[in-house]
Amino acid sequence: MTQERCPVYTISVVSRQEYNVVIVLKMRAESGKIPIYSIIVPPESFGILFMEGESLPAVNRAVYGVKHVKGVMRGITNVDEVMKVLKPVKPTVDIDVNDEVEIVADVLKGSRARVTFVDKEKGVVRVELLDSAFPMPLDLKITEVKLIRKSQ
């Protein structure tokens, strides 16, 4: 007995609106009896969804006119690509307490800070800005900082 797989399509959506779009798509697929079998939202917010459906016209019919949907990307998405997004590789950055780092994301991009706490399991660091007049602790992802100088 062979098991058939339905094609997986990538849907581009407005970042941070993934769950709102999923709710609308779920209701639309159920009420309109559109053959959509699953909708996957990656754990990190990338502005994409993966939708398993019977065919491309069925997926297009489901997403047509939904607010915050940018469009359906061309072609069928490989299952290996979906698995890479669902199980991202943990960054192996050797950052310790009292290290000096540079912030590479958000509004404070380019600011220097000193690390006060590291949670390697969650991938979070707490830093205090060096340029500020008073200590202001910020919790950032390890990927949002770049090591400048190790502490002695």
Query: Do 119 and 78 belong to one domain?
Result: no
- Backbone φ, ψ for residue 115 (5° rounding): -80, 130
* Dihedral, CA of residue 74, residue 17, residue 110 and residue 94, to nearest 10: -80
Are residue 108 and residue 79 in the same domain, yes or no?
A: no
Residue 19 belongs to a domain: yes
Write down the pLDDT at residue 132: 86
- Give the whole-number percent of the chain exceeding pLDDT 70: 93
Looking up residue 114, the CATH number of its domain turns out to be 2.30.30.30
Number of separate domains in the chain: 2
Which residue segment(s) compose the domain that 133 sits in?
Answer: 100-149
Asked whether residue 68 falls in the same domain as residue 130, the answer is no
Give the mean pLDDT of the chain: 89
Q: Is the pLDDT of residue 88 over 90?
A: no
What pTM, to 2 d.p., does this model score? 0.60
Percent of the chain with pLDDT over 90: 61
- Residue-wise pLDDT for 27-84, tens only, equals 999 998 999 999 999 887 679 999 999 999 999 999 999 999 999 998 999 888 888 8
Alpha helices in 40-117 (DSSP H): 56-63, 79-86
Residue 94 in domain: no
* Per-residue model confidence (pLDDT) at position 82: 87
What is the DSSP-derived secondary structure letter of residue 110?
A: T
Q: How far apart are CA 72 and CA 63, in angstroms?
A: 8
Q: What is the pLDDT of residues 90-121, one digit of tens each?
A: 656 689 999 999 999 878 889 999 999 999 88
